[in-house]
């Protein structure tokens, strides 16, 4: 079946992708003001698999994870510090909450000692006067993060001042230069030789809490995930930035591809196999195979329909064009367009729990507009060939979460638009309720 073939292909391409998005994350927390779910929600939004725990983790368990976010403010045991040391040495990403000394001086000292033992520097001091970075983080390290817009800031609450961070690199600063967040990148030489992971500490838990987790705070967290985390896990982070001169830290995206949408009705030129069909009803099995120059316009109203469309040709310059509009629930759509000509598809599915698997293969332009309206959708898209990839996708979840995977491979010209908050704070059309656990995986490779 096309469905299983696409999934196998997507998995295979994932192994060779230069940017790895989906990995395993452990969040250790103490149920403080939704901090763990706020962090976990953004990681899930990026396609990562998140596990929550309120207990410290041993060496055998931590080996199953690529990232650990310790968002507690309670004391850090020497046993846990030793486990974390090995984890970072082996290339893991570690985030540690620290805080102002009035509440959490013991934890601050334990974190500083652990990082110092990793080679992060001597005399590390986490815990300046309480409130020293309150409400005015106006600078971020632009080697690794997107600069804050003029007049904006990351909101803290009684955060600490990190006065000595040794070999580390500052991450957050307030308006007068006091440091509220620091990172130690093993691949940038901030830790001892042999450490290839990254440690980040932000000396305020409240920037992630239920009250402050909006706007610029969300953007900053997304920036860390999309850049510093992704660069650490993929091994591409260095002293020069998130990629070490390799692939982009985030896939290329756009706000939409309006030119192709404007030419929607005129995209088909030529003669060949043309099909116009409308089907009303449920539990239908529809299979259409076209060879030659292709045009299909198909409308279905009903539920539990299975639709398989294939437009394929070995002739040079053959055009593939498909418009499909499905209204109903629990429908499955498989579309494959292959050959050495231009491939265009406009797909709209309205309802719940629908599955769409779409492949546009071989040379020629690839363009897809996919709209899945409703809840509980599962979409897999593969665009491969010699460049000219473009996908505009809208997914909504009116109750059930969506799962979306996009693979674009070939030679450059990759572009997509998704219902997703990007690291620079821009968003595209669509909705994902964090609590619903939407899953996103985007792979762009040559």
Residue 15 in domain: no
User: Could you tell me the CA-to-CA distances from 378 to 56, 282, 339, 356 in Å, in that order?
Assistant: 35, 20, 26, 6
Strand order in the sheet with 294-301: 273-280, 294-301, 320-327, 343-352, 366-375, 389-395, 416-417
Q: Is 122 exposed, middle or buried (0-12, 13-18, 19+ CB in 10 A)?
A: exposed
Mean pLDDT computed over every residue of the chain: 78
Flag whether 114 is in a domain.
yes
pLDDT in tens, 138-170: 999 988 888 888 888 999 988 889 999 999 999
Please tell me whether residues 54 and 193 are part of one structural domain: yes
Residue 306, Cβ neighbours under 10 Å: how many?
Answer: 16
Overall domain count for the chain? 2
In a shared domain, residues 349 and 316: yes
**276 and 369 together in one domain:** yes
CA–CA separation, 133 vs 204, rounded Å? 9
From 199, 234, 269, give the residue that closes a domain.
Answer: 234
Neighbours of 203 (CB within 10 A): 29
Same domain for 328 and 184, yes or no, is: no
What is the CATH classification number for the domain harbouring 112? 3.40.50.880
DSSP-derived secondary structure for 236-302: --BTTBSSTTSS-SS----S--HHHHHTGGG---S-SEEEEEEEESSS-EEEEEEESSEEEEEEEES
Q: Which of 196, 218, 234 is at the close of a domain?
A: 234
Helix and strand tally (H, E) in the chain?
8, 24
Is residue 7 situated within a structural domain? no
pTM of the model: 0.55
DSSP letter assigned to residue 303: S
Residue 3's pLDDT is 29
Residue 124 sits at φ, ψ, to 5 deg, of: -60, 135
Host domain of residue 374: 258-445
Residues 185 and 268 both lie in one domain? no
**Cα 52 from Cα 44, distance rounded (Å):** 12
Which residue's structure tokens are 């990007």?
Answer: 422
> CA 222, 440, 46 angle in degrees (round to 5)?
20
Q: Are residues 204 and 293 in the same domain?
A: no
* Predicted confidence (pLDDT) at residue 394 exceeds the cutoff of 50: yes
Domain boundary among 218, 234, 250: 234
On whether both 46 and 133 belong to a single domain, the answer is yes
Q: How many CB atoms lie within 10 A of CB 199?
A: 28
Residue 320: the pLDDT is 80
Q: Is residue 16 part of a domain?
A: no
What CA–CA distance (Å, rounded) separates 97 from 160? 11
Is 381 inside any structural domain?
Answer: yes
Which residues neighbour 418 within 8 Å (Cβ) at sequence distance 6 or greater? Answer: 253, 393, 395, 404, 406, 428, 430, 440, 442
- Asked if residue 5 is part of any domain, the answer here is no
| DSSP string computed for 330-346 | S-EEEEEEEEES-EEEE
Q: Which residues of 343-355 are buried (b: 16+ CB within 10 A; e: fewer)?
A: bbbbbbbbbbbbb
Q: Identify whether residues 61 and 192 lie together within a single domain.
A: yes
Query: How far is residue 164's CA from residue 129's CA, in Å, rounded to a whole number?
Result: 13
Is 240 within the bounds of a domain?
no
Three-state SS for 67?
Answer: strand
Q: Report residue 8's pLDDT band, with 50, 70 and 90 as the boundaries.
A: very low
Assigned token pair, 43: 């990681």
Q: Are residues 145 and 61 in the same domain?
A: yes
Question: pLDDT of 201-247, one tens digit each?
Answer: 999 999 999 999 998 999 899 889 988 998 898 788 888 887 533 33
Mean pLDDT of 390-407: 70
Return the bridge partners of 210, or none.
Answer: none
- Indicate whether 262 and 228 sit together in one domain: no
Domain co-membership, 58 together with 135: yes
pLDDT value of position 65: 94
Residue 116: pLDDT above 70?
yes
**CA 280/CA 305 separation, integer angstroms:** 10
User: In this predicted structure, what is the pLDDT of residue 423?
Assistant: 34
Q: Say if 383 falls within a structural domain.
A: yes
Whether residue 269 sits in one domain with residue 220: no
pLDDT grade for 401, boundaries at 50, 70 and 90: low
């Amino acid at each position: 079946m096309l469905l299983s073939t696409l999934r196998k292909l997507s998995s295979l391409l994932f192994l060779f992708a230069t940017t790895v998005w989906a990995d395993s994350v452990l969040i250790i927390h103490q149920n403080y003001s939704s901090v763990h779910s706020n962090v976990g929600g953004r990681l899930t939004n990026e396609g990562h698999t998140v596990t929550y725990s309120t207990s410290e983790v041993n060496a055998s368990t931590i080996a199953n994870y690529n990232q650990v976010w310790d968002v507690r403010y309670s004391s850090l045991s020497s046993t846990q510090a030793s486990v974390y040391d090995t984890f970072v040495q082996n290339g893991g990403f570690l985030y540690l909450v620290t805080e102002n000394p009035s509440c959490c001086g013991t934890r601050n000292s334990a974190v500083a000692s652990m990082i110092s033992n990793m080679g992060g520097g001597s005399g590390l001091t986490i815990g300046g006067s309480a409130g020293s970075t309150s409400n005015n983080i106006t600078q971020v390290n632009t080697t690794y993060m997107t600069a804050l817009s003029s007049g904006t800031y990351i909101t803290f609450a009684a955060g600490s001042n990190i006065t000595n961070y040794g070999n580390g690199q500052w991450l957050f600063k307030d308006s007068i230069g006091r440091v509220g967040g620091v990172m130690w990148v093993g691949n940038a030489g901030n830790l001892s030789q042999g450490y290839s992971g990254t440690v980040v500490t932000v000396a305020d838990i409240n920037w992630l809490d239920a009250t402050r987790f909006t706007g610029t705070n969300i953007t900053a967290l997304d920036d860390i995930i999309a850049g510093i985390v992704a660069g650490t896990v993929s091994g591409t982070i260095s002293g020069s930035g998130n990629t070490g001169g390799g692939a982009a830290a985030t896939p290329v995206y756009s706000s939409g591809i309006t030119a192709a949408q404007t030419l929607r009705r005129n995209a088909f030129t030529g003669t060949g196999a043309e099909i116009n069909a409308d089907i009303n009803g449920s539990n239908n099995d529809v299979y259409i195979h076209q060879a030659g120059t292709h045009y299909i316009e198909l409308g279905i109203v009903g539920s539990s329909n299975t639709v398989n469309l294939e437009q394929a040709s070995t002739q040079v310059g053959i055009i593939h064009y498909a418009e499909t509009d499905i209204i109903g629930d629990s429908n499955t759509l498989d579309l494959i367009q292959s050959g050495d000509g231009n491939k265009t598809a406009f797909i709209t599915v309205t309802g719940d729990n629908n599955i769409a698997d779409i492949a546009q293969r071989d040379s020629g332009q690839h363009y897809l507009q996919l709209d899945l309206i409703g809840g509980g959708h599962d979409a897999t898209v593969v665009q491969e060939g010699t460049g000219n990839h473009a996908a505009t996708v809208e997914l909504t979840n009116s109750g059930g979460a969506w799962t979306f995977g996009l693979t674009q491979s070939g030679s450059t010209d990759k572009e997509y638009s998704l219902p997703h908050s990007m690291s620079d704070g821009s968003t595209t059309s669509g909705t994902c309720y964090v609590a619903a656990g939407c899953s996103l995986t985007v792979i762009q490779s040559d």
